[in-house]
Amino acid sequence: MTDTKPVAVESSNNTLGIISLIAGIVGVLLFVCCPYISVVLGIVALICGILAYQQQQQYALAGIILGATSILLGIIFVIVGQALFRELMYVLEREMRF
């Protein structure tokens, strides 16, 4: 009769890190056409990245950096877009009077 002992297999669960990385990449890519979605994806990437970093998962730091970048780019693009839209409306209003 053989004595069998269970062997502990270490599995690496990088789910939060991967979610953070993917959300950050998509957020950075979408900031021009969909800045509001970019900000939301940046927040998701940042939260998942922080949780993954606490669990010492791979890709966590990349997700945090990309999430913060996505948030900043989205906010900057919304502000610049609003300013340009306001200026365009002013010019169109002035041209319509003549």
Q: 11-33, pLDDT tens digit by residue?
A: 578 899 999 999 999 999 998 89
| 7 has pLDDT over 70 | no
Note the pTM of the prediction, 2 decimals: 0.77
pLDDT tens digits, 49-97: 999 999 999 999 999 999 999 999 999 999 999 999 999 999 888 888 8
Task: For residue 62, give the nearest of 95, 25, 89 by alpha carbon.
Answer: 25
**Hey, where are the domains in the chain?**
15-97
Short-list 85, 77, 66, 74, CA closest to 23: 66
Using DSSP, state whether 31 is helix, strand or coil: coil
